[in-house]
Each structure stands twice: as structure tokens, then as C-alpha cells.
Amino acid sequence: MYDINTHYKFIAARFLLEFNTAYLAKLFGVPLSKINRMESNTCNIPAVYSYALNNLISHEENYKGIYKSLENDDLENFCKKINKASKISRLSCSKCHSRKLHVMKMKENIYFIECMKCKKTMYSNKDSAMRYYSWQNKGVYLSHYLYSKKEI
């Protein structure tokens, strides 16, 4: 279990799980303001939230990569660069909602996605497709570029 006891570890864990603040608040059964206070470092993070985040991480297919990223990356630097209010979307199959996907880059900012469970094919140009493609090829890591649209 990874000790998520600071605001920057909390933010990093939430981003690696690809949850926005509203969804995390709903999962935890707390008001959105509670999540915002923890992320802005205006209140302590109770151990129960660390346990809850660890439980969510342990159910992810790439949980080892997430834990490795939480231990090795410069989390504080990441949290200073990221816009915490940005919307985060998780890439999943539009038919069966599986996260077992194979993502291939077709052109600049266009990705071909195949669900390994139901074999549905999709196309996307969203940040979530870029992030999944990057993680699939380079391993899970924190980069503020993977959570915000690049300006062209």
C-alpha cells in the first residue's frame, strides 16, 4: 500500500486513476468541497482516503505502473504545472465499457482503438486516447502534457 498523505500525492493518484474531482467525490460519498480542500492543502488527508485510493488503484489493470509512477515521479512539480480543474476522461469501450484496449496512432492526433473484449473499433482524437497510447507504449507516468490539450 502506498501512503497518500499529502495533497500532491492525492492529486497525482487521482490523475493516474483518470478521475475528475466530481467523480471522486461521488465515489467517496463526500461533498466536492472536501476533495477540493484536500487538493488545495487546506485540510489534512485522513487515512481512510489513502486506503480508498489504494483500493481503487489495486483494481486497475495497470496498477503496478501506477504505483511505480507514484513512487518515482516528481509529484510536486507535476502538481504545480497541472490545471487541477481540467476535465479528465477515461478511455473505455463505448459498447462494453472495458478498459482492455489496443490503441494505435494513425495520423497526427488521431488514434485507432480496438476493444480486446468485444472487438469494437473506434477512432478518437481525445486526450484520453493520447494518454492510453502513451502509457501502452512507455508505461504509466505522470506528465502534465498528457492531461491538457496541446496547442497546435
pLDDT score, position 15: 92
Q: Are 19 and 92 in contact (CB under 8 A)?
A: no
Whether 55 is in a domain gets the answer yes
Whether 99 is in a domain gets the answer no
Q: What angle do CA 46, 73, 11 make, to 5 degrees?
A: 35
Whether 62 is in a domain gets the answer yes
pLDDT score, position 22: 92
Whether 112 is in a domain gets the answer no
Residues spanned by the domain of 18 = 7-81
pLDDT score, position 84: 78
Whether 86 is in a domain gets the answer no
Whether 72 is in a domain gets the answer yes
Whether 45 is in a domain gets the answer yes
pLDDT score, position 67: 92
Count the Cβ atoms, other than its own, within 10 Å of residue 43. 12
pLDDT score, position 142: 86
pLDDT score, position 74: 83
Tens-place pLDDT, residues 76-115: 888 888 877 778 888 999 899 898 999 999 888 899 999 9
Q: The dihedral of CA 121, 13, 54, 42: what is its sign?
A: negative
Q: Are 23 and 32 in contact (CB under 8 A)?
A: no
pTM for this model (two decimals): 0.85
Whether 123 is in a domain gets the answer no
- Structural domain tally of the chain? 1
pLDDT score, position 78: 87
Low pLDDT (below 70) residues in the chain: 148-152
